Structures are given as C-alpha cells and as structure tokens.
Structure 1
C-alpha cells in the first residue's frame, strides 16, 4: 500500500492510525485539517480545499487522514486502499474527550484542529447511521479499484498496524 485514505467519524482514531501507518510504512501523512484551514485556523474556500487535496494525492506515496465527504471522490479515486475507522459512537466520544484533555483544544502538533460543537457531537453520534452509508457508497463509486479495510474497534486498528509490520501485538 502506497496510497492510503483513512476516513471515519471524529474521535474514531483516524489521526493516530494514519500516523502509525506513516511511521511503519515510511509514507508521509497529510491531515485534511491542515489543508482545510488557513494559518489562523479559518476555513478556506471549498475549491481551494479540493485543489490542495488533488496536489497531495498526485504524489506516488501518501496517507490522508480526514473525513470530508464532499472531497472524498478525490482521495478515493487516487487511493490504493481506503481504511474506514468505525468504532461505536461512544468510543468516538471518549476519543474526543481524551483528545480535549490531552491537548486542551485548539491546534494539535499532529495536524488536527480540535473544535467541539454541538453540531460536531451530533455528527459523531449519528455517523454510523447517516454518514457511513454515504461514505461507503462514495468509495464504491469513485474507488472501486481500492482495497477497503473496515475497522470497527481500536483493537482491530492495532492488529492491522501490527500485521503490516509482520509482528503480533501479543493480545
């Protein structure tokens, strides 16, 4: 795998997984939050966001981390693999709380911008029911050539990373 798109709900563990894969495989990671916002963490125009993604996926080797459904066709069409990180909503909410506690909000060193709103929390809670089916349909339409890996727990994600390196995680 040389071109990997990691998608999923907020707090699902996309960034952690993308960073682990990047380190394990020696592939640069692009966080969509870093492309989505300007240097003051203001949203940029959608066409500029799409252009930044096109530039990122034009490389031979890349991992993207983020879940913009509007621009997922760009990533899915270029990806060799799409990893769907899909733990239960309560696990995602716990991940959001842990991230908030660890970083105290704002910009994180790993490229994520932590902005918790009621809209965001509702999105996370309803992700599996409302957004995941559209995400999977988009991947099927724009990335039929891509291998899709659907991880429904943190343990599956850990095992997936361990298998890539040919190591067992001992659990």
Structure 2
C-alpha cells in the first residue's frame, strides 16, 4: 500500500490535524499509533522529567512498526534516527488556531483520546501564542530537519484538502488490496 513505510513520524503545528490524521493512518495501515502528548504529560499537566522522557522515547522507537504523532523538538532526533517516513503538517496559522478553538470548544473540561488522564482540555492563551509563532520558530526547524534527511520519505501537507486527498487515496488502495 503506497509504500508509506513502517516507522512514521508526524510533526507540525498544534491544531494542524496531526492527531486526527495519525488515528486515521493507524486505522488504514494497521500500524500502532503513539501520541507523544499522551506519553509526555502526566495527570494535572505535569511534565515527564527530561531523562525519563529521553529513555521513554528511545524505548518507543525500538518497535518494528509505529506512527508517532508529536513534535517535542528536544528529542526529535531520537525518532528521526529510526523513522523511514516523515509527515509534516504545514497548515496556516489561522487554520491551526481555528482548529484549536474548535477542539477546545468540543472537548472543554474533557480528556481527548490523544492525551493522558487528568489533562482536561482548556483554553490556554500561552498555547495560542505558541501556535501563532510555530511557523516562524519550530516550523523552520522542521523544514531544516526535512532538508537534511532526504533519505527519508517526506510527505508535506500544506492544507486540509491535501490531507483529505491523501487519506482517501490510502483508503482506496486498502480497499483494492482487500478485494484481491
């Protein structure tokens, strides 16, 4: 199926649709999904200590197949060293902020499936600033990573239409394979 790879990292701005896409990709391919937010955050939005976080990620990437959803720039090299495919979401700031607002309104005071128990969804002004500044700061870092790793399969989504087309293409390929 489309030679997407077996070790897939999904990166990009918060609110871009990484987690939703990753769930669909996992369903279509049967490859296990790991949400880094769920692994990093402890109940009450308590961060995992750095040394423990590094160990945890080294363990997570040892599997033969995985989809890992999330940025966590300080440990991105761990995932990148094992990934065969990098999917990068480069949607506009406005689209990401609108998606964030929709997500918060839909899940306010509830825990999303890609988060740890005790990490209820809330409006967070600092996080909104992070989303707004992402393309100029971390988005540039992601682009540099992609440029330096031409040996990996790189897939870049610039808008929701690209994401939907790709997902439909994968579904059609899966259906064709199942009919044979």
TM-score normalised by L of structure 1: 0.88
- Structure 2 residue 136 is matched with structure 1 residue 132: no
**1:72–1:138: 8 Å Cα contact kept in structure 2?**
no
Paired position in structure 2 for 1:94: 98
- Structure 2 residue 129 is matched with structure 1 residue 122: yes
Separation of aligned partners in 1, 2:122 and 2:35: 15
Q: 1:44 to 1:111 in 2, by over 3 A?
A: same
**1:12–1:91: 8 Å Cα contact kept in structure 2?**
yes
1:71-82 residue pairs with structure 2 within 5 A? 71-82=75-86
Paired position in structure 2 for 1:33: 37
Q: Which runs of 4+ in 1 moved over 6 A?
A: none
Q: 1:116 to 1:101 in 2, by over 3 A?
A: closer
Separation of aligned partners in 1, 2:87 and 2:129: 23
Match of 1:162 among 168, 171, 176: 168
Separation of aligned partners in 2, 1:6 and 1:117: 23
Q: What is the root-mean-square deviation of aligned Cα atoms in Å?
A: 1.8
Alpha-carbon distance, 1:117 to partner: 2.7
Alpha-carbon distance, 1:119 to partner: 2.5
Alpha-carbon distance, 1:161 to partner: 1.4
Secondary structure at 1:87 match in 2: coil
What is the total number of aligned residue pairs between the two structures? 166
Alpha-carbon distance, 1:39 to partner: 4.1
TM-score normalised by L of structure 2: 0.84
Secondary structure at 2:91 match in 1: coil
Question: Which has more radius of gyration?
Answer: 2
